[in-house]
Protein backbone atom coordinates (compact mmCIF):
# COMPACT_ATOMS: atom_id res chain seq x y z
CA UNK A 1 0.00 0.00 0.00
CA UNK A 2 2.83 2.36 0.83
CA UNK A 3 4.28 1.92 -2.68
CA UNK A 4 0.93 2.78 -4.25
CA UNK A 5 0.62 5.96 -2.16
CA UNK A 6 4.18 6.97 -3.00
CA UNK A 7 3.42 6.49 -6.69
CA UNK A 8 0.26 8.63 -6.41
CA UNK A 9 2.17 11.26 -4.45
CA UNK A 10 4.85 11.40 -7.15
CA UNK A 11 2.22 11.89 -9.87
CA UNK A 12 0.68 14.74 -7.88
CA UNK A 13 4.12 16.29 -7.36
CA UNK A 14 4.75 16.14 -11.12
CA UNK A 15 1.64 18.22 -11.82
CA UNK A 16 2.69 21.10 -9.56
CA UNK A 17 4.17 24.15 -11.19
CA UNK A 18 7.92 23.94 -10.49
CA UNK A 19 8.36 27.64 -9.65
CA UNK A 20 5.37 27.95 -7.30
CA UNK A 21 6.04 26.99 -3.67
CA UNK A 22 3.37 24.98 -1.88
CA UNK A 23 0.82 27.31 -0.35
CA UNK A 24 -1.19 25.93 2.55
CA UNK A 25 -3.40 28.97 3.05
CA UNK A 26 -7.11 28.28 3.25
CA UNK A 27 -9.66 29.56 0.72
CA UNK A 28 -10.53 32.63 2.80
CA UNK A 29 -6.98 33.92 2.60
CA UNK A 30 -6.66 32.93 -1.06
CA UNK A 31 -9.66 35.14 -1.85
CA UNK A 32 -8.88 37.91 0.65
CA UNK A 33 -5.26 38.60 -0.29
CA UNK A 34 -5.94 39.43 -3.97
CA UNK A 35 -9.00 41.47 -2.93
CA UNK A 36 -6.91 43.50 -0.51
CA UNK A 37 -4.24 44.06 -3.17
CA UNK A 38 -6.91 45.27 -5.59
CA UNK A 39 -8.42 47.50 -2.90
CA UNK A 40 -5.05 49.15 -2.26
CA UNK A 41 -4.59 49.80 -5.99
CA UNK A 42 -8.11 51.19 -6.34
CA UNK A 43 -7.58 53.53 -3.37
CA UNK A 44 -4.28 54.72 -4.87
CA UNK A 45 -5.95 55.32 -8.23
CA UNK A 46 -8.79 57.22 -6.58
CA UNK A 47 -6.37 59.37 -4.61
CA UNK A 48 -4.39 60.12 -7.77
CA UNK A 49 -7.64 61.17 -9.49
CA UNK A 50 -8.55 63.55 -6.65
CA UNK A 51 -10.84 61.26 -4.65
CA UNK A 52 -8.54 60.66 -1.69
CA UNK A 53 -11.40 60.93 0.79
CA UNK A 54 -12.98 57.65 -0.39
CA UNK A 55 -12.43 54.83 2.12
CA UNK A 56 -12.88 51.08 1.63
CA UNK A 57 -16.08 51.19 3.71
CA UNK A 58 -17.58 53.49 1.07
CA UNK A 59 -17.16 50.79 -1.59
CA UNK A 60 -20.19 48.92 -0.30
CA UNK A 61 -22.37 51.96 -1.03
CA UNK A 62 -21.06 52.33 -4.58
CA UNK A 63 -21.38 48.58 -5.22
CA UNK A 64 -25.05 48.42 -4.24
CA UNK A 65 -26.34 51.77 -5.51
CA UNK A 66 -28.20 51.28 -8.82
CA UNK A 67 -28.17 54.07 -11.42
CA UNK A 68 -31.86 54.85 -10.84
CA UNK A 69 -31.26 55.27 -7.11
CA UNK A 70 -32.44 53.39 -4.06
CA UNK A 71 -33.93 54.06 -0.64
CA UNK A 72 -31.58 53.91 2.34
CA UNK A 73 -33.35 50.92 3.87
CA UNK A 74 -33.11 48.90 0.66
CA UNK A 75 -29.45 49.89 0.22
CA UNK A 76 -28.63 48.76 3.76
CA UNK A 77 -30.45 45.47 3.18
CA UNK A 78 -28.64 44.85 -0.12
CA UNK A 79 -25.26 45.51 1.53
CA UNK A 80 -26.10 43.40 4.62
CA UNK A 81 -25.63 46.41 6.90
CA UNK A 82 -27.84 48.00 9.52
CA UNK A 83 -29.75 51.09 8.47
CA UNK A 84 -27.69 53.08 10.99
CA UNK A 85 -24.35 51.88 9.59
CA UNK A 86 -25.43 52.57 6.03
CA UNK A 87 -26.79 55.95 7.09
CA UNK A 88 -23.38 56.90 8.46
CA UNK A 89 -21.65 55.98 5.20
CA UNK A 90 -24.29 57.75 3.09
CA UNK A 91 -24.10 60.90 5.24
CA UNK A 92 -20.33 60.94 4.78
CA UNK A 93 -20.58 60.49 1.00
CA UNK A 94 -23.34 63.09 0.76
CA UNK A 95 -21.27 65.63 2.70
CA UNK A 96 -18.41 65.04 0.25
CA UNK A 97 -20.67 65.51 -2.78
CA UNK A 98 -20.74 61.92 -4.05
CA UNK A 99 -24.39 61.12 -3.28
CA UNK A 100 -27.58 63.12 -3.18
CA UNK A 101 -31.01 62.50 -1.68
CA UNK A 102 -33.89 63.25 -4.01
CA UNK A 103 -37.64 62.74 -3.67
CA UNK A 104 -38.77 59.22 -4.56
CA UNK A 105 -40.97 59.48 -7.69
CA UNK A 106 -43.16 56.66 -6.30
CA UNK A 107 -43.64 58.35 -2.91
CA UNK A 108 -42.70 62.03 -2.65
CA UNK A 109 -42.44 61.74 1.16
CA UNK A 110 -39.55 59.28 0.83
CA UNK A 111 -36.03 59.97 -0.41
CA UNK A 112 -33.97 58.06 -2.94
CA UNK A 113 -30.19 58.02 -2.90
CA UNK A 114 -28.35 58.43 -6.15
CA UNK A 115 -24.89 59.32 -7.33
CA UNK A 116 -23.96 62.87 -8.26
CA UNK A 117 -21.70 63.63 -11.20
CA UNK A 118 -18.78 63.44 -8.73
CA UNK A 119 -19.98 60.00 -7.59
CA UNK A 120 -20.22 58.80 -11.18
CA UNK A 121 -16.66 60.05 -11.75
CA UNK A 122 -15.56 57.83 -8.84
CA UNK A 123 -17.24 54.84 -10.51
CA UNK A 124 -15.52 55.64 -13.82
CA UNK A 125 -12.15 55.91 -12.08
CA UNK A 126 -12.65 52.61 -10.25
CA UNK A 127 -13.58 50.85 -13.50
CA UNK A 128 -10.41 52.16 -15.17
CA UNK A 129 -8.21 51.06 -12.26
CA UNK A 130 -9.86 47.63 -12.28
CA UNK A 131 -9.13 47.33 -16.03
CA UNK A 132 -5.48 48.11 -15.26
CA UNK A 133 -5.42 45.52 -12.46
CA UNK A 134 -6.93 42.87 -14.75
CA UNK A 135 -4.39 43.63 -17.48
CA UNK A 136 -1.51 43.45 -15.00
CA UNK A 137 -2.68 40.19 -13.46
CA UNK A 138 -3.25 38.66 -16.90
CA UNK A 139 0.25 39.69 -17.98
CA UNK A 140 1.84 38.32 -14.80
CA UNK A 141 -0.13 35.04 -14.69
CA UNK A 142 -0.35 34.55 -18.43
CA UNK A 143 -3.54 35.16 -20.38
CA UNK A 144 -4.68 31.51 -20.32
CA UNK A 145 -4.14 31.16 -16.57
CA UNK A 146 -5.92 34.46 -15.91
CA UNK A 147 -8.89 33.46 -18.07
CA UNK A 148 -9.06 30.12 -16.23
CA UNK A 149 -9.09 31.96 -12.91
CA UNK A 150 -11.94 34.18 -14.08
CA UNK A 151 -13.92 31.19 -15.42
CA UNK A 152 -13.51 29.28 -12.16
CA UNK A 153 -14.53 32.26 -10.03
CA UNK A 154 -17.60 32.83 -12.20
CA UNK A 155 -18.50 29.13 -11.93
CA UNK A 156 -18.13 29.30 -8.15
CA UNK A 157 -20.33 32.41 -8.00
CA UNK A 158 -22.98 30.66 -10.10
CA UNK A 159 -22.95 27.67 -7.77
CA UNK A 160 -23.18 29.88 -4.68
CA UNK A 161 -26.07 31.82 -6.22
CA UNK A 162 -28.24 28.73 -6.64
State residue 105's pLDDT score. Answer: 86
Q: Residue 43 sits in which domain range?
A: 26-160
Query: 9 in a domain, yes or no?
Result: no
List of the chain residues with pLDDT < 50:
1-18
- CATH code of the domain covering residue 92: 1.10.10.10
Report the pLDDT value the prediction gives residue 20, as an integer from 0 to 100: 64
> Using one digit for the tens of pLDDT, what is the confidence trace for 109-147?
899 999 999 999 999 999 999 999 999 999 999 999 999
Integer angstrom CA distances of residue 138 from 40, 68, 127, 144, 154:
18, 33, 16, 8, 16
Question: Is 16 within a domain?
Answer: no
Q: Where are the beta strands (DSSP E) in the chain?
A: 99-104, 107-115
Number of domains making up the chain: 1
Q: How long, in residues, is the chain?
A: 162
Give the global pTM. Answer: 0.79
4 found inside a domain: no
Residue 8 located in a structural domain: no
Amino acid sequence: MSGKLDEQHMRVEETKAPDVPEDRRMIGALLRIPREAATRQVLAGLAEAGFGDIRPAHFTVFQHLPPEGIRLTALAEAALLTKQSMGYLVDDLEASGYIERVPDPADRRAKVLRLTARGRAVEDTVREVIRQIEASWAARLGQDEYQQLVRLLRALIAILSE
